[in-house]
A and B are shown apart, each in its own frame.
Chain A
């Protein structure tokens, strides 16, 4: 494969895509390459956005930041921190999970729709994203949304582009709504709970008026013991009040062996929640990593069912609804079993990281019902008629518009 093409501008990017389309070349689209998720793409060339960088507009008073897609996430976070603001959806860094040293780009964050623990409070990546510019598979430069946070002008392609993994177009610029960085973080943590007990505790916390911004459960913390965590963020007095109230609310419901404590230390709380966000527990370890989304109360049931059939380790986030699985084997049978169980509850399972022995036939993304799959395929063909952008990454490629199944 020839070396990566590195467009410096949106116009460059459009030219490269037009020429690839004319030659029938399939392009592998990349940002920083820290989230190599999806089915393998057999590409003729690599196109990376890492040379399209820079923050184009940042208005702290309007809670808005606009930047080129190749801008390192780090650079954006640094600029926001200076003004005491942040990206509300808490983008996770998967570099550790994949053992990759390169830098995540903001375009990559959007393409993979990466959202951290705060997703349950302030929403996902798609909820903070307010505008995109991208180049379609035809080489057309397209904009949608903009730089204002309330906008219903035309269809919302901003949401559609989020999590489309470069299959609909190559992002050139992204705009976000940002929020004030909380003054203080407080954690209420409980040790010694079974999965189902933990998820009940998290539900109780999330149904309280205390504006919980994180609700996670680790089957094994650093010492190998179960740990359940509830997070609140805000002004100091408020955090002191809310952590105490949560403790009062939760303590009476706990089994006798469980212990409940409060932590409002800025350093240790940040470390703890970053570890959950970046799935540090699974870093540097063999096996396939799955990300499963189900209704929170179904989480422990699903895990109970799967544990009977395969070796796995689990981290719950989003009140129990987001389940990270580290599965020993990469067999097709296990993958089928995981998806069958998830289907029986309703939800989806994405194979985020393949194991060294993962079967090549395992689809990275959860197979969709016929009509939904048809709509998705036809959308991809509308945005990229020749199928040159990350062909087959999200679902097997077909050059034909599907008629209704």
Chain B
């Protein structure tokens, strides 16, 4: 079936199962340890469902100290550890191997401190992204990064993957909103990095921990920046006859000095799917649709929208419709946020996540349509246009033999194209297993070697999420116990 390889599980580790499980139960109680095959199967995959493998056991610690205890046990036996947030990774970041222990943070879901004067919230990392905003909504505050999976995804996973969202053109991604973490190292030591103050006093370890895909440690607590909600926000819908023209409009808006909080782009196929699914009132007779949202007081919103409309008119939009109520605004966003679900109703799909320089948008969209014909698979585009982060959804039929392989090859070609035009393989989903073997298209040996040396520092035995991020061949020596020591 699938084409992405995982390392062969160690039979000698699998043979230790009973002993290890007993030790873990003794350490954190039987409520926190899952080991029966019919139960571990719930942890066999994340949102990249084409790849599945139940782990040896699953631990769900209730405290940072329990995480430390479990990691010490894993360290002692040399067991690979797969950290897990809510399991919403689209990149296979939480895919286990049969000889691994999954450590989930779902029971670590408390809010520890809310401080409006200093504008931060301290939470345990198993809390959901939306849960963070929910906890400060009463005081009109919010947590800015808003991945589409925000209802389900955990802060731990957001930190591991440095998740983004629709509003990062203005507010940045996870790393720009993360102030500090409590992290358990593979050897069980608990470290504190950063805190309620800004910036690092030495090397910026927090910066490199965020986005390390669970390969440096397990983050159990996080201090996050919270912001006061703007007075209001209003989206405008702009429909165009051609993708290129919509792309040019995005670029002109940015050049004019307007900084919308979001600029979302949908192509024809995505518009139809979203409209049929969410009845958002999207125009069906356009080739490309932009949702541009601005924020502020009524005066400010009006001032910015006037500028945007003046720019848009120069590009002859077929539709230009400003939201006139919160109901309309919610509906517009409901359509966009339902995109993945809507596509899922039409077909199986794989969601790509490359980023390109926005100037390359027309070229890349055109090339994708050509490739779509060559592969005979449909592709829908719904993405963050302001920052060039593409989400091509490749449609395929999982029950049709060879379709998944074809889809993966098409996806790989799209990502290679992103790199060729000056972009990157992944803008917000992470590398995981999905893009692991494509890393050589973006990085050379020296680029990868230095990154692996960073992992050597945090996890010398390469036990944390070992077969992710780096191509299998590139990390082979290290994963097999031959970590290079510094001279």
Contact = CB atoms under 8 A, between A and B. Distances in A.
Interface of A: 59-64, 83-84, 113, 115, 119-120, 123-124, 126-127, 136, 140-144, 146-160, 162-164, 168, 179-181, 183, 200, 203, 206-209, 211, 234-235, 237-238, 241-242, 245, 293-297, 318, 321-322, 346-350, 365-366, 368-369, 371-373, 375-376, 378-383, 385-386, 394-395, 401, 404
Contact of B258 (A124, A180, A242): A180
Nearest to B357: A62
A234 B301 CA distance: 12
Contacts of A380: 203
Majority SS at the chain B contact face = loop
A181 B259 CA distance: 10
B299 A113 contact: no
Given A159-B208, A318-B198, A136 B450 contact: yes
Nearest to B229: A209
B210 interface: yes
Question: Which residue of B201, B212, B254, B356 has the most chain A CB atoms within 10 A of its CB atom?
Answer: B201
Given A365-B202, A372-B191, A206 B119 contact: yes
A243 to B, nearest CB: 12
Contact of B204 (A159, A349, A365): A159
Given A150-B355, A162-B204, A238 B198 contact: no
14 contacts: A62-B359, A113-B204, A136-B450, A144-B451, A149-B355, A155-B211, A155-B212, A160-B208, A168-B203, A245-B297, A375-B457, A379-B457, A380-B203, A382-B454
B431 A153 contact: yes
Contact of A156 (B210, B486, B487): B210
Question: Which residue of A115, A157, A207, A369 has the most chain B CB atoms within 10 A of its CB atom?
Answer: A207
B359 A61 contact: yes
B196 interface: yes
Contact of A61 (B255, B451, B457, B469): B255
B355 A151 contact: yes
Contacts of A126: 204, 207
Contacts of B192: 369
B202 A152 contact: no
A62 B428 CA distance: 18
B20 interface: no
B172 interface: yes
Contact of A157 (B164, B201, B451): B451
Contact of B259 (A180, A208, A242, A404): A180
B116 interface: yes
B457 A372 contact: no
Contacts of B189: 371, 404
A143 B448 CA distance: 9
A163 B208 CA distance: 13
Nearest to B445: A140
Given A156-B207, A157-B208, A238-B296, A211 B230 contact: yes
A295 B448 CA distance: 37
A368 B307 CA distance: 50
Interface of B: 115-119, 140-141, 161-162, 164, 168, 172-173, 175-176, 185, 187, 189, 191-193, 195-208, 210-212, 228-231, 251-252, 254-259, 296-297, 299-300, 303-304, 307, 355-359, 384, 387-389, 422-431, 435, 439, 442-443, 446-451, 453-458, 469, 485-487
Contact of A148 (B172, B230, B300, B387): B387
Nearest to A401: B486
A372 B205 contact: yes
Task: In the A-B complex, list the 7 residue pairs whose CB atoms are closest, starting with the nearest.
Answer: A159-B207, A348-B201, A180-B257, A61-B251, A150-B427, A382-B453, A366-B201
Contacts of B175: 127, 156, 159
B297 A238 contact: yes
B205 A365 contact: no
B296 A211 contact: yes
A294 B197 CA distance: 5
Contacts of B299: 237-238, 241
A91 B446 CA distance: 31
Given A296-B118, A347-B197, A207 B228 contact: yes
B439 A154 contact: yes
Given A153-B426, A349-B201, A382 B193 contact: no
A62 B303 contact: no
A207 B117 contact: yes
Question: Which residue of A149, A164, A295 has the most chain B CB atoms within 10 A of its CB atom?
Answer: A149
Nearest to A60: B255
Contacts of A158: 207
Contacts of A60: 254-255
Nearest to B453: A382
B158 to A, nearest CB: 11
Nearest to A121: B227
Contact of B118 (A153, A297, A371, A378): A297
Given A62-B251, A147-B357, A181-B257, A296 B117 contact: yes
Contacts of B196: 295, 346
Contact of A160 (B162, B203, B359, B429): B203
Contact of A209 (B117, B228, B423): B228
Nearest to B230: A209
A156 B451 CA distance: 9
Question: Which residue of A155, A156, A378 has the most chain B CB atoms within 10 A of its CB atom?
Answer: A155
Given A238-B300, A371-B189, 13 more contacts: A61-B255, A64-B357, A148-B424, A150-B427, A152-B428, A153-B431, A155-B455, A156-B175, A180-B254, A245-B297, A369-B192, A371-B185, A382-B457
Nearest to A61: B251
Nearest to B421: A148
A29 B135 CA distance: 47
Contacts of B426: 151-153
Contact of A152 (B161, B185, B456): B161
Contact of A164 (B203, B424, B454): B203
A391 B172 CA distance: 34
A142 B450 contact: yes
Contacts of A157: 208, 450-451, 454
B440 to A, nearest CB: 11
Contact of A368 (B119, B201, B359, B451): B201
A68 B143 CA distance: 35
Given A61-B254, A150-B427, A372-B205, A237 B191 contact: no
Given A148-B355, A347-B197, A379-B457, A404 B231 contact: no
Nearest to A395: B202
A299 to B, nearest CB: 10
B176 A123 contact: yes
B486 to A, nearest CB: 4
A262 B311 CA distance: 32
A184 B273 CA distance: 43
Given A156-B211, A297-B118, A163 B450 contact: no
A126 to B, nearest CB: 6
A152 B162 contact: yes
B384 A160 contact: no
Question: Which residue of A157, A159, A383, A395 has the most chain B CB atoms within 10 A of its CB atom?
Answer: A159
Nearest to A405: B189
Contacts of B210: 156, 159
Nearest to A164: B203
A203 B199 contact: no
Question: Which residue of B118, B141, B189, B231 has the most chain A CB atoms within 10 A of its CB atom?
Answer: B118
Nearest to A162: B204
B486 A163 contact: no
B357 A63 contact: no
Nearest to A83: B255
Contacts of A245: 297
A106 to B, nearest CB: 18
